[in-house]
Chain A
Amino acid sequence: MERNNVSIFVSSLKKRYKDREVLRDLTFSVPAGTIYALLGSNGAGKTTTVRILTTQLRPDGGTARVRGFDVTREPEKVHQVISVTGQFSCLDESLTGTENLLLMGRLRHLAAPVRSAVRLLEYFDLSSHADRRVSGWSGGMKRKLDIAMSLVGSPDVLFLDEPTTGLDPQSRLAMWQIVRRLRDGGMTVLLTTQYLEEAEQLADQIGILSEGKILAEGTPARLKSLLPRGAVRFVFYSPKDLERAASLLGTPAGKWRTSCLPEKCALTVFTDGRADTLGELFCRLREDSISVREFSEQSPSLEDVFLTMIKEEKSYGNNKTKL
């Protein structure tokens, strides 16, 4: 089942914190030399997955192997082949860039840690700040150094937990460039992200993680084909109007998939993106005398759509028992 070219293999992984089940039944695998993106919102279990795969956390059940080494039984062997950059920068702020890299190089017992530090600083365009203390660096530069530290000793498998969260758009683009180059150099990368765009830009495979399970998996193109073309959002004057609109337009009575935001009195309707469809939506609302307070067009997020699908599944079940 597990072939030689599989770098990361996860099967039925489970983890529970006290009364909260974080990973329910997580299964996925990542071929060597590819980028896999775990896409999900906060609390979906992304960081927990990374922490288990990097031996920082013990799973309650299931199997996880990195380059064929079991993360619970052979952590020392896993350490030889992995590197991890966490969600928050983990640098020594009062050390210089060079010193931070030297620390990693020495702990990895490189033959020439200084040369490796110089080369990485050059590669990441940080040479000008090499001998300045990190505390004075910008957020983007710190993040780059953080990743540079993970690359000391050229690990086979790199884990990046939300590598661009909190970065400005320019640094984000630079980071994407870096991650792509690493993959092209043969490295396997598992990254987690909250941003569909990021997953789409970088990943060879995307796994959508929700409530500790992979909801859907595939190449960005395949997942995109499942996406509705457009989404529009209506805001109504009263919760009653919202309810009426939702039952009018949404499945099963109507023909569109919808997602409700009761706190904001808002309804998102996923469409085929055609202008005529918009007209049809407005007509329906007008026929039932539901007045619209605000209207906006939105780009549908992959995750939204899947969350809506799950919600539908659940509420169908509930409705049936009620009826």
Chain B
Amino acid sequence: METTKRSYSDTFTIAWRCLLLSRRNPETFLTSILLPALMMLLFVALFDGLVHVGGASYTAYIVPGVLIQCAAQGSSTTAVMVNQDITSGVMSRLSTLPVRQRSLLSGHVLEACGRSLVTSAVVLLIALLLGFRPAFSLTGLGISLLLLSGMILALSWMAVTVGILSKSPQGASSLSSLAIVLPYLSSGFVPTEHLPPLLRTFARHQPMTPVIDSLRAALAGHPADMGLLAAAFLWCILLSSVFYAASVLLLRKKLHG
């Protein structure tokens, strides 16, 4: 009981440290506030009118895609920070304190989740300015928040794994940029039926598509497709737990040789 309480408090301490570090890093400010705002504006400016998405406005169509896209972008910051902690020796030093190693990692994840939720708020704000009007229903908003958080959690643990696996911060950065491509190969920006056959198959079966589709439906106030929603949550839980387990194991191996 006492140790559980201690490790929760350690997670918050590490998250506090990461928050200070990322607040003072101009690049992080750029990727978590400025870039997302720009992305939202650019996509609407470039593709509105070119892409036909059925009844809804293109702005409303891409909001979930941009949200996930920006979360992926933000998680690459975490991959770099985790890798820097390992290569600089900070992680080794902290591991000689009476602190559990997994708390060191979950602190990073907690900060990543907080940061990505702020990013999401920026994206939503810009979308509102562009005329996006989500349906106001408590269930809809609740489901949206859960889906978004679930995807952010999965992406953050993936970023931690990437950060541990990479040999250098640059490596971590380029490896995690693969995650940034994934939203383009989903239903996020273009309906999947407009994609070439091979990409269409990939897009329909990759985890981001059910999350994005369910998110879109929830924000529009449409009734949820239960099968889709279940798939979305299962993906988030599955990815989060796989990457959590992987990163805890990999860190132990990395630190103790």
Contacts and interface: CB of A to CB of B under 8 A. Distances in A.
Given A56-B255, A79-B98, A90 B21 contact: no
**Size class of the contact patch on chain B:** 20 to 34
B99 interface: yes
B20 to A, nearest CB: 6
Interface of B: 6, 9-10, 13, 16-17, 20-21, 24-25, 88-90, 92-99, 255-257
Interface residues of A, number: 25
Given A56-B255, A92-B21, A95-B20, A108 B97 contact: yes
Q: Which of A95, A99, A109 has the most CB of B within 10 A?
A: A109
Given A58-B256, A107-B10, A95 B21 contact: yes
A175 to B, nearest CB: 18
A80 B89 contact: no
B9 A56 contact: no
Contact of B97 (A58, A88, A99, A104): A104
19 contacts: A54-B96, A55-B96, A56-B95, A56-B96, A57-B256, A82-B96, A83-B96, A84-B96, A86-B93, A90-B90, A90-B93, A92-B21, A94-B24, A94-B25, A95-B24, A99-B20, A104-B97, A107-B94, A133-B24
A106 B257 contact: no
B93 A103 contact: no
Q: Which of A54, A83, A106 has the most CB of B within 10 A?
A: A106
A21 interface: no
Interface of A: 54-58, 76, 79-80, 82-84, 86, 88, 90, 92, 94-95, 99, 103-104, 106-109, 133
Given A57-B256, A90-B90, A107 B97 contact: yes
Given A94-B21, A95-B17, A57 B257 contact: yes
Contacts of A82: 96
Q: Which of B90, B96, B257 has the most CB of A within 10 A?
A: B96
Contacts of B13: 103, 106-107
Given A107-B10, A107-B13, 18 more contacts: A55-B95, A55-B96, A57-B257, A58-B256, A58-B257, A76-B98, A82-B96, A84-B96, A86-B92, A90-B89, A90-B90, A90-B93, A94-B21, A94-B24, A95-B17, A99-B17, A104-B97, A109-B6
Contacts of A95: 17, 20-21, 24
B210 to A, nearest CB: 39
Contacts of A104: 97
Contacts of A108: 97-98
A82 B88 CA distance: 21
Contacts of A79: 96-99
B14 to A, nearest CB: 8
A107 B10 CA distance: 6
A163 B48 CA distance: 62
A213 B256 CA distance: 22
Nearest to B23: A94
B128 to A, nearest CB: 33
Q: Which of A57, A82, A107 has the most CB of B within 10 A?
A: A107
A58 B97 CA distance: 17
Contacts of A103: 13, 17
Closest 7 CB pairs of A and B: A79-B98, A106-B13, A90-B93, A94-B24, A90-B89, A54-B96, A107-B97
B92 to A, nearest CB: 5
B86 to A, nearest CB: 12
Contacts of A109: 6, 9
A92 B90 contact: yes
B256 to A, nearest CB: 6
A28 B21 CA distance: 41
A56 B6 contact: no
A84 B95 CA distance: 11
Given A56-B256, A107-B13, A84 B99 contact: no
B220 to A, nearest CB: 42
